[in-house]
Amino acid sequence: MSATGLNILAIGGVALIVDGTPIVLEDTLTYTSMMLDGVPNFAMTIAKAPC
């Protein structure tokens, strides 16, 4: 929970599976704030919409 009371769900709750192995986001390393370790051809961004 954040200070605003919002619950954030990383990548919309999508299950990442690489070669039949589930990827646990909490166990991955993030490179350049976009790429996940062990997940090829995948990038994510986080942005805040102006209120």
pLDDT digits (tens, 9 = 90+) for 1-47: 567 777 777 777 788 899 999 988 888 887 777 888 888 888 887 77
Is the residue at 49 inside a domain? yes
The pLDDT value recorded for residue 2 is: 60
Contact 16, 25 (CB under 8 A): yes
Is the residue at 6 inside a domain? no
**How many domains is the chain built from?**
1
Range of the domain at 51: 21-51
Is the residue at 8 inside a domain? no
pTM, rounded to two decimals: 0.56
The pLDDT value recorded for residue 21 is: 92
Is the residue at 3 inside a domain? no
Is the residue at 31 inside a domain? yes
Is the residue at 30 inside a domain? yes
The pLDDT value recorded for residue 19 is: 93
The pLDDT value recorded for residue 51 is: 65
DSSP line for 1-51: --TTSPPP-GGGGPPEEETTEEEPGGGPPEETTTEETT-TT-B--------
